Amino acid sequence: MGLLDPIPPPYDPLEWAARPLPEKSRMVCRSWALQGYGTPVAVYFVYLLKVALYVGGWIFFCGFTPGLGAPGQIGQWWLEPIAFQKAIVWSLLFEVLGLGCGSGPLTGRYFPPIGGFLHFLRPGTTKLPLLRGLPLVGGATRNPIDVALYAILLISLVRALVAAQLDAALLLPLVVLVPQCGLLDKTVFLAARAEHYWVTIVVFAFASPWLAGAKAVQAALWFWAGVSKLNHHFPAVVCVMTSNSPVTRFAWIRRLVYRSYPDDLRPSTLATVMAHVGTLLELSVPIVLIFGDGGVVTTVGLVMMVMLHGFILSTVPMGVPIEWNVVVLYGGFFLFGAHADVSLAGLVDTPVLAAFVALFTVALPLWGNLAPHRLSFLLSMRYYAGNWPYSVWLFRGDSYKKLERLRKSSKWLYDQLDVFYERKVSVGLVGKVIAFRLMHLAGRALCRLLPRAVDDPAKYEWVDGELVAGMVLGWNFGDGHLHDEQLITAVQAQCGFEPGELRCIMVESQPLHRQSMLWRIHDAATGELGRGEIAIADLRQLQPWSFELPGGTAAQREGA
């Protein structure tokens, strides 16, 4: 097996594709449990190289400031305030270009491996305006205004990065342009990771000193990420991540996180304990660091931070938020290590800015946890908890070919993969995405919802909404609100699916205070077919392949 070859599943993918859905699901989920996605070894080196280029880009731009940028003297300047400021601005540019989160094969993006600017700079591509129907800017496709504003944002970011110092004249355009781009296409705002980088840039622009505000933003990232895991979803995430991690490649280790492989793939006691420890660690890091004084307490907090992000980085998670984890680590050392003496109380000196920071670090995340159907999981800071909104798009027969009527920067999934592999290998890889969805607790709702959506799943091509968003919007990163009714409507207007040709199942996140999840089923041509609620307790009893399909014996329906 070569460096570019995926780990082959323990079955023939073409034969697997012809089997009944319960059996297909059982086979692919068991394969994921021991093999993960089957990522080629070379892919990990590509991501490692990308991180090196990301860090190298930061060093390069720091070099425009006198006294900074010499790699051999990095220990003398890496904790300088301007170096941190440039790290934030550079990270926003890196992400909004599409080079960071949501890039490469671990997000279902094969060729080209990025979307971002390839999509956002192309008139006629599909977008999701915040104010639909508004003249000139509220349409479902990108026009010269969208392209120009995005290009101006890129130019403004580069202009700030090559400056010796960052002042209001350089920062204010960024403060204005990022939300303006978001009004025209909310995909761009989310791709910029604006809940972190843009909010911090606003602090840079309007606070002097700005350290307290930047600390508040970073502490919120950890705290709300921990809060988002106070549910039954995260143990399944531990299972999925462990099975896919390049550092836990031994089958006996991966079996330990499941109750009884291969028959019971629910999280084991070990996986549940790991999830609880991880949640406690994520909640503790900001608390310990906030109360640290630069001594032992701060050191303990920084060690905990390294443990937390070191584990995440070692798993190379799907969605690949690798550079984001790197800059959060750097921010921890700069904000809470080098400036442990700065208190969050310093925000009271600028009450208007304090209110703005509170909106994005307290009010919006709280609202997003209590009413997750109303807000992106990124603005809610519910990171990698497994409790995400998602969708599955079901194309009848070859109706997916109508997507070629869209203007986009990437082709149909199999057409992308055909550049590298024979069709059998491609089918095996795309099939693993089904396992990724079903192995999460929320994904098991599909076992109950799929029979409501279509009469015969064998007649439909199952495509995760994440992969659809990657092709159609140029960016995807776990936010099911990017591929809900708004995208369906935009796609239908351009593609014209007939009734029954495209059915979509949409499942919302579990609210913090409720033990259930909302769902909807939509036909692209005729509209909503049904909606309801499903109990978390019911999902916890299901195996990933527990589909209830019409006809067949109970054993066949269970895939036994």
pLDDT of 41 = 87
Q: What's the pLDDT tens digit per position in 73-118?
A: 999 999 999 999 999 999 999 999 999 999 999 998 999 999 999 9
CB of 419 within 8 A of CB of 111?
Answer: yes
pLDDT of 236 = 97
pLDDT band with cut points at 50, 70 and 90 for residue 557 = very low
pLDDT band with cut points at 50, 70 and 90 for residue 551 = low
- 3-state SS of 17-78 is HCCCHHHHHHHHHHHHHHHCCCCCHHHHHHHHHHHHHHHHHHHHHHCCCCCCCCHHHHHHHC
Residue 555 confidence (pLDDT) above 80: no
Range of weakest confidence among 218-222, 333-337, 344-348, 480-484: 344-348
Local structure of residue 407 (DSSP, 8 states): B
pLDDT band with cut points at 50, 70 and 90 for residue 556 = very low
Q: Write the single-letter amino acid at 112.
A: P
pLDDT of 63 = 97
Local structure of residue 79 (DSSP, 8 states): T
pLDDT band with cut points at 50, 70 and 90 for residue 249 = confident
pLDDT of 295 = 95
CA 95 to CA 102: how far, in whole Å?
Answer: 9
pLDDT of 554 = 40
The label of the residue with tokens 């920084």 reads 302
Q: Is 67 exposed, middle or buried (0-12, 13-18, 19+ CB in 10 A)?
A: middle
Q: Give the H or E element holding residue 186.
A: helix 186-191
pLDDT band with cut points at 50, 70 and 90 for residue 559 = very low
pLDDT of 552 = 45
CA distances from residue 436 to 8, 37, 42, 433, 504 in whole angstroms, order as listed: 16, 8, 21, 5, 18
Residue 10 confidence (pLDDT) above 80: yes
CA 515 to CA 510: how far, in whole Å?
Answer: 7
Helix (H, G, I), strand (E, B) or coil at 529: strand
Q: Is the dihedral of CA 79, 84, 85, 87 positive or negative?
A: positive
Local structure of residue 11 (DSSP, 8 states): S
- In percent, how much of the chain has pLDDT > 90? 91
pLDDT of 560 = 37
- 3-state SS of 223-264 is HHHHHCCCCCCHHHHHHHHHHHCCCCCCHHHHHHCEEECCCE
112's tokens? 């080209």
CA atoms within a 13 Å half-sphere pointing along the CA-CB vector of 143 = 9
Q: What's the pLDDT tens digit per position in 123-140?
A: 999 999 999 999 999 999
Q: What is the mean pLDDT of residues 464-492?
A: 96
Q: What is the mean pLDDT of residues 22-34?
A: 96
CA–CA–CA angle 366, 285, 36 (5° rounding): 85
Largest CA distance in the chain: 74
Residue 15 confidence (pLDDT) above 50: yes
* Phi and psi torsions of 436, nearest 5°: -55, -45
CB of 39 within 8 A of CB of 430?
Answer: no
Q: Model pTM?
A: 0.94
